[in-house]
């Protein structure tokens, strides 16, 4: 999956077959893709998104309490191997279990702070992407509505918005909330 798809998936949430709003959002993204990729800020958005993924991985896997305990256990096993081989182990070289836990906690807090800084930098870029999605959505509403109105007119019927047009009109809030507000939620 390329970074564009991952970024937009994160912004909009993964489409579920039974979720019409997410499916419609996928179509709006598909129609907007080339304009989004042409944004001057898009390369920076990709870089920030990759950094966000790295930090989330670090916070969620590499800097957990379990990882700290594993590092402590590995140190203990190395010391036991040295002792079994007749080598003396320098006690000062080893760290206590609590020291490992504290170290990983400090590093996790620093990574979370970095993640917040990345999110702050990314938010205006997400807003630019969301504006493109909103314009595409508006254009699609106008297009579908014009096609429907023409069909109604041919049959001599007064035009009433279809469920599709009404649904598309209601997607604005979804795109704004998903696009700008949830990019860096965990």
State the DSSP string of the chain. Answer: --HHHHHHHHHH----TT-HHHHHHHHHHHHHHHHHHT-TTHHHHHHHHHHHHHHHHIIIIITSHHHHHHHHHHHHHHHHHHHHTTPPP-GGGS--HHHHHHHHHHHHHHHHHHHHHHHHHHHHHHHHHHHHHHHHHHHHHHHHHHHHHHHHHHTT------HHHHHHHHHHHHHHHHHHHSTT--
* pLDDT at residue 45, rounded to an integer: 84
H or E element in which residue 26 lies: helix 20-37
Determine the pLDDT at residue 41: 85
Closest CA to 8 of 140, 183, 135: 183
pLDDT in tens, the chain (186 residues): 455 566 666 665 554 556 787 788 888 888 998 998 899 988 888 888 889 889 989 998 888 999 999 999 998 888 888 778 877 666 557 788 999 999 999 999 999 999 999 888 888 888 888 889 899 999 999 999 999 999 999 999 999 999 999 999 988 877 777 765 555 454
pTM: 0.68
Integer Rg of the chain from CA: 26
The domain ranges of the chain are 3-181
Tokens of 160: 């009433």
- What's the first-to-final CA gap in the chain, in angstroms? 20
d(CA 76, CA 53): 32
Dist CA 21 CA 115 (whole Å): 29
């Amino acid at each position: 999956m390329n970074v564009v798809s991952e970024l937009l998936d994160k912004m909009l949430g993964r489409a579920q077959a039974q979720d019409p709003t997410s499916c419609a959002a996928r179509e709006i993204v598909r129609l907007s893709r080339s304009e989004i990729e042409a944004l001057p800020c898009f390369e920076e958005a990709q870089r920030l998104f990759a950094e966000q993924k790295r930090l989330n991985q670090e916070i969620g896997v590499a800097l957990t309490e379990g990882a700290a305990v594993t590092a402590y256990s590995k140190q203990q096993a190395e010391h036991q191997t040295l002792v079994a081989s007749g080598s003396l182990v320098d006690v000062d070289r080893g760290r206590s279990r609590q020291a490992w836990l504290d170290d990983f906690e400090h590093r996790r807090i620093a990574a979370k702070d970095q993640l917040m800084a990345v999110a702050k930098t990314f938010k205006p870029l997400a807003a630019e992407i969301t504006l493109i999605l909103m314009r595409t959505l508006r254009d699609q509403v106008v297009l579908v509505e014009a096609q429907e109105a023409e069909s109604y007119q041919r049959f001599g019927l007064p035009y009433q918005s279809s469920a599709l047009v009404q649904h598309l009109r209601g997607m604005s809030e979804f795109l704004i909330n998903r696009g700008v507000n949830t990019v860096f939620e965990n």
